[in-house]
Amino acid sequence: MARKFFVGGNFKMNGSAKSITDIVDNLNNAKLDPNTEVVIAPPALYLSLTREKLRKGLEVAAQNVFDKPNGAFTGEISVEQLKDAGITWAILGHSERRVILQEDDQFVANKTKTAIDGGLGVILCCGESLEQREAGKTIEVVTSQLKAVADKVKDWSKIVVAYEPIWAIGTGKVATTEQAQEVHAAIRDWIKNEVSTEAAEKTRILYGGSVSEKNCVELAKQADIDGFLVGGASLKPAFVDIINAKQA
């Protein structure tokens, strides 16, 4: 069974009501590949605005979600609140949160379980630093991040994995097509052995790490690259070209 191509746009802490409305208008009016699933993740403040303006068939993700129900958790957002606002996805485990906010594998796994149990889809990020890559520990690091989730979540049907080499995020450096495909294949192999053969066949594995309109077509041709999680380029008109990479 062919896996449906998936492109996520992570706006990070960027945008205003006007600029996000402009991005949404551009997506609403663009001719997008109907065989590609598209999800965009604006800052929390603009989730409802984005959902109200974005056309049907395109989905909205939160950039984070807390691992507890509604309660005394200042500054956090619950699964229930996201669902109430029509938000269907969450990005979890992004390297910026792992590194800057010190979120460990267990916390990411708890949040993933809470999101999945509550009915959200999860874009689960994993990736290694330059030091870890140079030490030959890429697969070890990435699979240990995934194992924390696999220990808590048995049903992976709502998980999309995003492999993001930390050294290639926002740096302009991109893993070569071969490097990306090699890690994606290893992730799929790990899912097969640790979760199930069915999960390995069906789970979309995205590449994220300075994806642009220039490199997306070549990356999209790889057997185990099922889409992209796009950072800075998702704020630009060229995001449409990345969404349509499989058609190109």
Catalytic annotation present for 94 = yes
Burial of 34 from C-beta contacts in 10 A (0-12 / 13-18 / 19+): exposed
Predicted local distance difference test score (pLDDT) of residue 35: 97
Hey, is 227 helix, strand or coil? strand
Catalytic annotation present for 164 = yes
110 in a structural domain: yes
Q: How far apart are CA 247 and CA 175, in angstroms?
A: 22
Catalytic one of 59, 164, 184, 213: 164
Q: How many domains does the chain have?
A: 1
Q: How far apart are CA 52 and CA 154, in angstroms?
A: 33
pLDDT > 80? residue 66: yes
The arithmetic mean of pLDDT across residues 196-217, rounded, is 95
Q: How far apart are CA 143 and CA 134, in angstroms?
A: 17
248 in a structural domain: no
Predicted local distance difference test score (pLDDT) of residue 226: 98
Predicted local distance difference test score (pLDDT) of residue 183: 97
pLDDT tens digits along 120-174? 999 999 999 989 999 999 999 999 999 999 999 999 999 999 999 998 877 777 7
pLDDT > 90? residue 75: yes
Predicted local distance difference test score (pLDDT) of residue 234: 97
Predicted local distance difference test score (pLDDT) of residue 248: 84
Residue-averaged pLDDT of the chain: 96
The model's confidence at residue 209, banded by pLDDT at 50, 70 and 90, is confident
Q: Assign residue 232 the CATH number of its domain.
A: 3.20.20.70
Domain membership of residue 35 as a residue range? 5-243
Contacts with 149 (C-beta within 8 Å, 6 or more apart), sequence order: 108, 109, 112, 113, 124, 159
Catalytic one of 37, 59, 94, 213: 94
pLDDT > 90? residue 210: no
The arithmetic mean of pLDDT across residues 9-35, rounded, is 98
Q: How far apart are CA 25 and CA 29, in angstroms?
A: 6
What angle is formed at CA 142 by the lines to CA 136 and CA 144, rounded to 5 degrees? 105
The arithmetic mean of pLDDT across residues 1-24, rounded, is 96
pLDDT > 80? residue 78: yes
Q: How far apart are CA 161 and CA 158, in angstroms?
A: 10
The arithmetic mean of pLDDT across residues 4-9, rounded, is 98
The model's confidence at residue 197, banded by pLDDT at 50, 70 and 90, is very high
pLDDT > 80? residue 1: no
| Beta-bridge mates of residue 62 | 90
- Could you tell me how many helices (H) and strands (E) the chain has, helices first? 11, 8
The overall longest dimension of the chain from CA atoms, in Å, is 49
pLDDT > 90? residue 236: yes
Q: How far apart are CA 36 and CA 200, in angstroms?
A: 19
* Angle subtended by helix axes 138-150 and 177-194, to nearest 10: 40
The model's confidence at residue 113, banded by pLDDT at 50, 70 and 90, is very high
Rg (CA), the chain: 17
